[in-house]
Amino acid sequence: GDSVTQMEGPVTLSEEAFLTINCTYTATGYPSLFWYVQYPGEGLQLLLKATKADDKGSNKGFEATYRKETTSFHLEKGSVQVSDSAVYFCALSDLLTGGSYIPTFGRGTSLIVHP
Protein backbone atom coordinates (compact mmCIF):
# COMPACT_ATOMS: atom_id res chain seq x y z
CA GLY A 1 0.00 0.00 0.00
CA ASP A 2 0.85 3.66 -0.09
CA SER A 3 3.14 5.08 2.60
CA VAL A 4 4.94 8.28 3.58
CA THR A 5 8.20 8.48 5.50
CA GLN A 6 9.39 11.68 7.16
CA MET A 7 12.56 12.47 9.00
CA GLU A 8 12.18 12.19 12.75
CA GLY A 9 12.30 15.30 14.85
CA PRO A 10 12.47 17.48 16.60
CA VAL A 11 14.38 19.72 14.25
CA THR A 12 15.86 22.60 16.23
CA LEU A 13 17.12 25.69 14.40
CA SER A 14 18.07 29.25 15.11
CA GLU A 15 16.09 32.05 13.53
CA GLU A 16 17.09 32.78 9.89
CA ALA A 17 18.60 29.30 9.43
CA PHE A 18 17.86 27.17 6.35
CA LEU A 19 15.27 24.43 6.81
CA THR A 20 14.94 21.07 5.10
CA ILE A 21 12.48 18.40 6.20
CA ASN A 22 12.81 15.21 4.18
CA CYS A 23 9.82 13.26 2.90
CA THR A 24 9.78 10.16 0.70
CA TYR A 25 6.80 8.14 -0.42
CA THR A 26 5.70 4.90 -2.00
CA ALA A 27 2.54 4.80 -4.10
CA THR A 28 0.96 2.51 -6.66
CA GLY A 29 -0.46 5.26 -8.85
CA TYR A 30 0.33 8.91 -9.55
CA PRO A 31 -0.39 10.65 -6.28
CA SER A 32 -0.74 14.27 -5.38
CA LEU A 33 1.57 15.37 -2.58
CA PHE A 34 0.93 17.77 0.28
CA TRP A 35 2.56 19.43 3.23
CA TYR A 36 0.34 20.30 6.18
CA VAL A 37 1.30 22.36 9.22
CA GLN A 38 -0.09 22.06 12.73
CA TYR A 39 0.43 24.95 15.13
CA PRO A 40 0.10 24.25 18.87
CA GLY A 41 -3.48 23.58 19.94
CA GLU A 42 -4.84 23.66 16.41
CA GLY A 43 -5.81 21.29 13.63
CA LEU A 44 -3.74 20.70 10.53
CA GLN A 45 -3.89 23.19 7.70
CA LEU A 46 -2.64 22.91 4.16
CA LEU A 47 0.75 24.55 3.60
CA LEU A 48 1.39 23.63 -0.03
CA LYS A 49 0.73 20.94 -2.62
CA ALA A 50 1.95 19.54 -5.95
CA THR A 51 -0.12 17.41 -8.26
CA LYS A 52 2.37 16.03 -10.79
CA ALA A 53 6.03 15.31 -11.31
CA ASP A 54 8.37 18.34 -11.30
CA ASP A 55 5.64 20.61 -9.92
CA LYS A 56 6.82 22.99 -7.21
CA GLY A 57 4.42 23.94 -4.44
CA SER A 58 5.12 27.12 -2.50
CA ASN A 59 3.53 29.19 0.25
CA LYS A 60 4.72 31.56 3.01
CA GLY A 61 8.35 31.12 1.91
CA PHE A 62 8.17 27.31 2.03
CA GLU A 63 8.79 25.24 -1.11
CA ALA A 64 8.70 21.58 -2.10
CA THR A 65 9.29 19.95 -5.47
CA TYR A 66 7.59 16.71 -6.58
CA ARG A 67 10.47 14.41 -7.57
CA LYS A 68 9.11 11.26 -9.16
CA GLU A 69 12.53 9.79 -9.91
CA THR A 70 13.49 9.86 -6.22
CA THR A 71 9.90 9.58 -4.88
CA SER A 72 10.53 12.60 -2.67
CA PHE A 73 8.83 15.84 -1.67
CA HIS A 74 11.26 17.61 0.67
CA LEU A 75 10.11 20.79 2.40
CA GLU A 76 12.52 23.77 2.38
CA LYS A 77 12.60 27.33 3.62
CA GLY A 78 15.49 29.70 3.21
CA SER A 79 15.15 31.61 6.48
CA VAL A 80 12.96 30.31 9.29
CA GLN A 81 11.25 32.45 11.91
CA VAL A 82 10.18 31.69 15.46
CA SER A 83 6.58 31.73 14.24
CA ASP A 84 7.36 28.71 12.00
CA SER A 85 7.65 26.50 15.08
CA ALA A 86 5.05 23.78 14.50
CA VAL A 87 4.62 20.16 13.45
CA TYR A 88 4.86 19.50 9.71
CA PHE A 89 3.14 16.55 8.03
CA CYS A 90 3.88 15.19 4.59
CA ALA A 91 0.94 13.45 2.91
CA LEU A 92 -0.11 11.89 -0.36
CA SER A 93 -3.45 11.39 -2.03
CA ASP A 94 -3.80 8.57 -4.51
CA LEU A 95 -6.83 7.71 -6.61
CA LEU A 96 -7.97 4.25 -5.63
CA THR A 97 -10.08 1.78 -7.54
CA GLY A 98 -13.71 2.86 -7.45
CA GLY A 99 -12.96 6.56 -7.66
CA SER A 100 -12.41 7.30 -4.00
CA TYR A 101 -9.22 8.15 -2.17
CA ILE A 102 -7.85 7.99 1.32
CA PRO A 103 -5.03 10.39 2.15
CA THR A 104 -1.92 8.87 3.70
CA PHE A 105 0.08 10.89 6.26
CA GLY A 106 3.61 10.73 7.53
CA ARG A 107 4.20 10.76 11.28
CA GLY A 108 5.01 14.46 11.43
CA THR A 109 8.21 16.39 12.13
CA SER A 110 8.36 18.90 14.95
CA LEU A 111 10.23 22.12 14.17
CA ILE A 112 11.48 24.35 16.98
CA VAL A 113 12.99 27.71 16.05
CA HIS A 114 14.91 29.67 18.67
CA PRO A 115 15.39 33.45 18.55
Point out which residues bind another protein (CB under 8 A).
32, 34, 36, 41-46, 49, 51, 89, 93, 95, 99-103, 105-108
Which is closer to another protein, CB of 86 or CB of 108?
Answer: 108
How far apart (Å, rounded) are the C-alpha atoms in residues 86 and 10?
A: 10
Please report how close the Cβ of residue 49 comes to another protein at its closest, in angstroms. Answer: 6
Residue among 1 and 115 whose Cβ is closer to another protein: 1
Of 70 and 100, nearer to another protein (C-beta) is: 100
Are the C-beta atoms of 38 and 44 separated by less than 8 Å? yes
How does DSSP classify residue 62? E
Of 88, 92, 23, 90, which is closest to residue 51 (Cα–Cα)?
A: 92
d(CA 26, CA 19): 23
**Which residue's CB is nearer to another protein, number 4 or number 113?**
4
| In the complex, least distance from residue 96 CB atom to another protein, rounded to whole angstroms | 9
Q: Who contacts 98 (Cβ-Cβ below 8 Å, separation ≥6)?
A: none
Tell the smallest beta-carbon distance from residue 33 to another protein (Å): 9
Nearest-approach distance from CB 51 to another protein, in angstroms:
5
